[in-house]
Amino acid sequence: MGSIGINIDAPPGTRLSILLLCDDWPGHANTVHDHVNAFRRYSRHQVKTFNPVRMRESLALDLNEFDVVVIHYSLVLSNERHVSRDFRDKLRRFAGLKVQFMQDEYRWVDRATEASRDAGINVLFTAAQEPAAGQLYDQRLPGVRRVPTLTGYVPDNTQSLPLKPMGQRPIDVGYRGRDLPFWLGRLTQEKVWIAQRFLEHAAEYGLRCDIGWREKDRIYGTRWIEFLASCRATLGTESGASIADFDGSVERAVRAYFRAHPGAKYDEVHEAVLRPYEGNVVVNVISPRVFEAVSLGTGLVMFPGDYSGVVTPGEHYIVLEKDFSNMSEVVAKLRDDKLMAALNERAHDHIIKSGRWSYASFIAGFDQVIAEEVKVARAPSRALRHRLARAERSIRVPPIRVRIFGSVFAALSAATGSNFSKRAAKDPESVDKGFLAIRAALRDGGLRALLREGRRAGLALDRLLEEILELSLLRQAARGTLRTRDDFTLTLEFDGATKSLRFVSRLGQSRQPANGSLKTALDALRAGALDVIEWDHRAVGSLVRLQHPWLDVGIGADGLESFALLSQIGRRNPHALERVLTPMISGDQSRVGSIE
């Protein structure tokens, strides 16, 4: 896109004022913090940050104090919990340069690009290489300048650490992956497959491994650096996805298949649902974990791939074929200290010493793009409104009620042994939800019985409170007493074959008949035979925007709540769940969710 501005050209070397909108929540992975901090540390411009998450509005913030506004990838522009309507209005009205960094670009592509168009984004930094970038953005963001970038770079804090000799590393191969949704395609599943299959083979060769892929296995902060530095080698695959879900239809199709075939494995789902979509857009990039490993002198054992053109097979990493046919060869190389030392030295020279993939180099490129695009320099600004806005946020987020009840939950966590207080300290929204859930349970004997039964079963308190709250909202919506800022109706769906009970939100006040036999649903409920209970609010959005209290409550994952714990309680004590759900099933199944 052409450069913007209406007055005079900014003199070469002009120091511009940049606002970086980002989520600097302490619980994020190191890579997020490294990326955010790099702008302030290395840019020749004046960079200030502001976190809009969980703020409905800011009375103080004035974007016109700045020459450039940057939306960091830690914010999802289309998510109201991240960027409210008020902030999107501010962005829309802002006349300066608007820059956006994107990640996970293969999910809800249409919704994400619509938000970018609405905000008037001028420059997009994208990790998607061609032709994927063109497939995603040529038609959806016409005229927007695309700049290739990576999801992370060489972290500053690891470069100065002394390298631990190979003989002092107690783990031969260490790795942490993540189980990702099937609807993102075969590429995402490789993060788990490489872990599972390598672990299966490792015992045969007597390798000392510490490999995990479940959420409970994940390691964060300094513990992650210490872990990686204790490994002779780590595993790796390309990050990204091999399916782009433009409108959410792929996700919906997979979820529908799961309802009909609970516990289906990936290959089955791929053949039944995903095959027509596989490879429609392939976003395959290098993971920041590669940079971390190389900087710590940890060897790389990776599936073959492009890896954004950064590393070369055999030169910088040991190739592990995806069918594991060369496992013996890989193990032999891992045990060859001379070979590993040479491999690691080449990788270190190429990636670390060269400086090509440092955060300083990344920001130098960013500054160059800004210089090419901004042709007008505003008068120097002290950004007084920005200072006021930061003070405003410190007062309003978390709200006073959250601070008060945070103390209550700390005591509750100490008494119950749960980790709720730790989570609340990092995520104030969990306190809001917990407070509303407890208030709902105190007022409603049925919900109170579910909470009591869940605690007896040893279920996680924080997650149990979330499900209690969302069930409370669902019940109010079914009765027509839920006061929200969006009108919606509820329709009940029951699938007898899979014993799935589903409440579906629809925009507006048009009533829809229930799908499936209500009697069969009641019979399954009373027998403790409901396998799935869901609230699908995605047609309305990911939030229920309450009027009283004035609060946005997130529903499940992107608007889909699967009441996993309540289903467990129902199987354990059918009567407890029956008491709460029977009125919702046997009554009028299409009620307006907002009563004025």
Is the per-residue pLDDT at 406 higher than 60?
Answer: no
Per the model's pLDDT, the better-predicted residue between 530 and 23 turns out to be 23
**Residue 343, C-beta contacts closer than 8 angstroms, at least 6 positions apart:** 299, 300, 315, 316, 317, 318, 333
- pLDDT at position 402, please? 55
pTM of the model: 0.74
pLDDT in the model for residue 398 = 65
Given pLDDT bands bounded at 50, 70 and 90, which one contains residue 591?
very low
Nearest to 474 by CA among 531, 402, 559: 559
C-alpha 400/C-alpha 398 separation (Å) is 7
Fold matches, 17-153+358-396 and 156-353: yes
Q: Which of 26-40, 297-311, 425-439 has the highest mean pLDDT?
A: 297-311
What confidence tens digit (pLDDT) does each residue in 180-210 have?
889 999 999 999 999 999 999 998 999 999 9
User: What's the CATH class of domain 156-353?
Assistant: alpha beta
Q: Is the pLDDT of residue 595 over 50?
A: no
3-class DSSP assignment, residue 56:
coil
Spatial separation of the C-alpha atoms in residues 490 and 552, rounded to whole Å: 19
Query: Residue 152 in contact with residue 288, Cβ under 8 Å?
Result: yes
Average pLDDT, the chain: 86
In DSSP notation, 511-545 reads ----BS-HHHHHHHHHTT---EEEEE-TTT-SEEE
Residue ranges per structural domain of the chain: 17-153+358-396, 156-353, 418-586
Kind of pairing, strands 532-536 and 239-241?
Answer: unpaired
Per-residue model confidence (pLDDT) at position 399? 59
Q: How many Cα atoms sit within 13 Å of 392 on the Cβ side?
A: 18
CATH tag for 17-153+358-396 (out of 3.20.20.80, 3.40.50.2000, 3.40.50.620, 3.50.50.60):
3.40.50.2000
Whether 107 shows a pLDDT value over 70: the answer reads: yes
Give long-range contacts, CB 8 A cutoff, 24+ apart: 7-13.
7/376, 8/376, 8/377, 9/375, 9/376, 10/374, 10/375, 10/376, 10/377, 11/377, 12/371
- pLDDT at residue 6 is higher than 60: no
Query: How large is the average pLDDT for residues 113-137?
Result: 97
